[in-house]
Structure 1
Amino acid sequence: MSLPALSSDTDRMLQVVGATPRVDEPRARAAVEELLRALGRDVAAEHLTDTPRRVVDSLVELLTPQEFAMTTFPNDEDYRDLVLVRGIPFTSLCEHHMLPFQGIADVGYLPGDRLVGLSKLARIVDWYARDLQVQERLTVQIADHLEHQLRPAGLGVVLRAEHRCMSMRGIRAAGAVTETSVFRGAIAGDERMLRRFEGAT
């Protein structure tokens, strides 16, 4: 079965895990300073003098994933059952409001000829989460990467997250959790497998 066409954004990220956009930090700091002024704040006030640097440093940290190699191994034992890592924590930034959304990811796959190092499932989640994101796209990007690199018999990605743009502003629905999922291959049509992603056996 051939892989589905990948978006240009996803293709770019798949080529080299570690390529992130260059940040013009002086320009970013000047922009934060101007934003503070536009919001009527005195940027010369003692508590605000270093705020532009701190804001930029925080954003760079949130938007810069750690480089990693997608280590895989031969499936010598011919293991064909579900490999599922639950509760992978992640934090991302909503690209609409630049407020964080945080949650957990459950990522699993049915092995084909290759197995992946378990920590790499968490690293894939972290890599795509450290961007300006929407949860739906993040879910698909994780699935695309796993499918492209591992070519499993099936895969599943479930994200559950609380969005600060929904809990801190607007409707202020604190505690509301958004769930998104992608299931492909042999997992997509298998009720028993889908129940395992829900925590049932």
Structure 2
Amino acid sequence: MMKIVWQKQEMPDATVDVGRLEELARQILVEIGEDPARAGLLETPRRYAKWWKEFVEYDAGKVDTLFESSTLGQTVMVSGMTVWSLCEHHLLPFSCDLAVAYKSGGTLLGLSKFARIAHKHAHKLQVQERLVSDIADEIADITGTDDLAVVGRGEHLCMTMRGIRTPSTMSSSVFRGVFEKSEHARAEIFAQLGAK
């Protein structure tokens, strides 16, 4: 079986040229047969540029707050986090419901940090598999644990809105350490998720 290794992508450091994006938005409107000077579209290029700026320059804030753990080896799971990202193949959005589980060692990651990490990695062009893998990598780096699982279930508008035009749910997962080696540990995750 071929093992896929994702190349870690860092967030871009460059700031967005809002003026240039506005020009491009006007050009797109003209190319699809619209009039960027009509009432309903006058502010669209500005909004388009502002949205890209917000997406690319997103700041998740502090993601590495750790607390001392009172127990060792307990499974900690955070689920029900939904993020939006952009498919790098079509520049169309996809939503992804995420669940993260790890075996606590001497420290616990602050609860809100899971969502911050998920949003941090969602704000770039990508595929769902890489999103799930990047989230797992960062949580492993911060917590120092090798025992973790990340499960993502997404709807991709590149399939829902174009091509076959059929809504569906794509699942992708990363299992490491005990979650990779133990069927029982994986079953615990899926039981808590109410596997669909």
- The answer, yes or no, to whether TM exceeds 0.5 is yes
Residue 197 (1) aligns with residue 189 (2):
yes
When normalised by structure 1's length, the TM-score is: 0.86
Matched with 2:68 is 74
1:89-118 per-position Cα deviation (integer Å, ceiling 9, x unaligned): 111111111111013100111112221001
Residue 150 of structure 1 aligns with an amino acid whose one-letter code is T
Matched with 2:121 is 128
What pairs with 1:52-67 in structure 2 (closer than 5 Å)? 52-67=45-60
Matched with 2:178 is 186
Residue 168 of structure 1 aligns with an amino acid whose one-letter code is M
Query: Which residue of 132, 140, 150 corresponds with 1:157?
Result: 150
Please list every run of 5 or more consecutive structure 2 residues that lacks an aligned counterpart in the other structure.
Answer: none
Residue 180 of structure 2 aligns with an amino acid whose one-letter code is A
When normalised by structure 2's length, the TM-score is: 0.88
Report the alpha carbon displacement of residue 59 of structure 1 after superposing the two structures with TM: 2.6
Q: 3-state DSSP class of the match of 2:187?
A: helix
Identical-pair percentage: 37
8 Å CA contact retained: 1:29, 1:53: yes
Report the alpha carbon displacement of residue 8 of structure 1 after superposing the two structures with TM: 5.2
RMSD: 2.0
Matched with 1:27 is 20
What pairs with 1:29-178 in structure 2 (closer than 5 Å)? 29-69=22-62, 70-75=64-69, 77-174=70-167, 176-178=168-170
Report the alpha carbon displacement of residue 6 of structure 1 after superposing the two structures with TM: 8.2
Residue 184 of structure 2 aligns with an amino acid whose one-letter code is R
Paired residues in the alignment total: 188
Residue 171 of structure 1 aligns with an amino acid whose one-letter code is I
8 Å CA contact retained: 2:67, 2:109: yes
Counterparts of 1:42 and 1:81, CA distance in 2: 59
1:115-174 per-position Cα deviation (integer Å, ceiling 9, x unaligned): 100110111111101111210110110011011111114000000010011001100112
Residue 182 of structure 2 aligns with an amino acid whose one-letter code is D
Residue 73 of structure 1 aligns with an amino acid whose one-letter code is F
Counterparts of 1:34 and 1:6, CA distance in 2: 35
Matched with 1:16 is none
Report the alpha carbon displacement of residue 71 of structure 1 after superposing the two structures with TM: 0.3
